[in-house]
Amino acid sequence: MPPSSGSGAVTRSTLRQQIADALRDEVLAGRLQPGQEFTVKEIAEQYGVSATPVREALVDLAAQGLLDADQHRGFHVHEYSVTDYRGIVEARGLVTDGMFDAIERGHERFRRTDAPRAAAALAGVRRRAEEARRAALAGDLTVLIGYDLRFWRELGTLFGNPYLSDFLHRLRVQSWVCAVQHLRRLADLRGVLWHRHTDLVDSLAQRDTTTARGIVQAYDAHALDLIERLAAR
């Protein structure tokens, strides 16, 4: 295959991912509302690109559960119910349990946490935890979501199976998509959002999975109670 063809494929793939990321961020920011409809042509015109990478990006987001395809009409933002949210939270809890199980079994990645590279990676995860905590305490939902997703993805990669990490990332995106439609109705989120990211990473650094499990269980209970109360208003 000529170099130009390979370069074009890479460019298109990168553009596809950029569009998917941008649209995901629009959903998480609440600028694309649940049920909102749009077409490939509209998105292509909005970003000034051809239809092919846009269609591919939208198909990717539909596969991730963020969009639904409307036959012959386009796409719309998936509408998650509170029941869906309960299921997502339960599923992500099972995945984090798998991560903790790997630590308790002396997972190879965890045994190497004394190595300089692994120690540096753990320090990076803790910095993400600190940023997420600050954003949560300040009630800055947009900043929190960005750091929270990075925190959990990096934590899962460092302490667990990379396939579990990818699945956990997908579940966390879905849970945020469901939660933001309720959270963004509140004028002030200070003191409302979970912020124990640093506690969690510190307990895992000490191999204290009992404390880590308790932190995550309290987090899941807090998240469910909050979204159920907001949805009931």
- Would you say domain 82-232 falls under CATH 3.30.420? no
Instruction: State the average pLDDT over residues 16-27.
Output: 94
Summarised one tens digit per residue, pLDDT across range 29-59 is 888 999 999 999 999 999 999 999 999 999 9
Beta bridge mates, 68: 76
The C-alpha atoms of residue 135 and residue 198 are separated, in whole angstroms, by 13
Domain positions in the chain are 3-77, 82-232
Q: What string of DSSP letters covers 110-142? A: HHGGGSHHHHHHHHHHHHHHHHHHHHHHHT-HH
One fold for both 3-77 and 82-232?
no
Q: Which two tokens stand for residue 201?
A: 């990473």
Distances (CA, A) of 21 to 37, 95, 120, 181: 18, 23, 27, 19
Half-sphere exposure of 31 (CA within 13 A, CB side): 7
Give 220-225's long-range contacts (Cβ < 8 A, gap of 24+).
Answer: 220/89, 220/90, 220/92, 220/93, 222/194, 223/89, 223/175, 223/179, 223/194, 224/85, 224/86, 224/89
Which element (helix H / strand E) includes 73?
none
Cα dist from 143 to 25, 29, 128, 140, 220, whole Å: 11, 10, 11, 6, 20
Q: What is the DSSP string of 93-104?
A: HHHHHHHHHHHH
Q: What is the mean pLDDT of residues 119-136?
A: 92
Quick one: pLDDT band at residue 8, thresholds 50, 70, 90?
Answer: very low
Q: How many CB atoms lie within 10 A of CB 174?
A: 21
Does 1 score more than 50 pLDDT? no
Query: Taking a C-beta distance cutoff of 8 angstroms, is the pair 94, 103 a contact?
Result: no
Confidence of residue 101 (pLDDT cuts 50, 70, 90): confident
Strand pairing partners for 37?
Answer: 76
| For residues 206-211, average pLDDT | 91
Confidence check: pLDDT of 9 > 90: no
pTM of this structure: 0.86
On whether the CB atoms of residues 76 and 67 are closer than 8 A, the answer is yes
Residue 65 corresponds to which amino acid?
Answer: G
CATH number of 3-77: 1.10.10.10
Helix (H) or strand (E) holding 164: helix 162-183
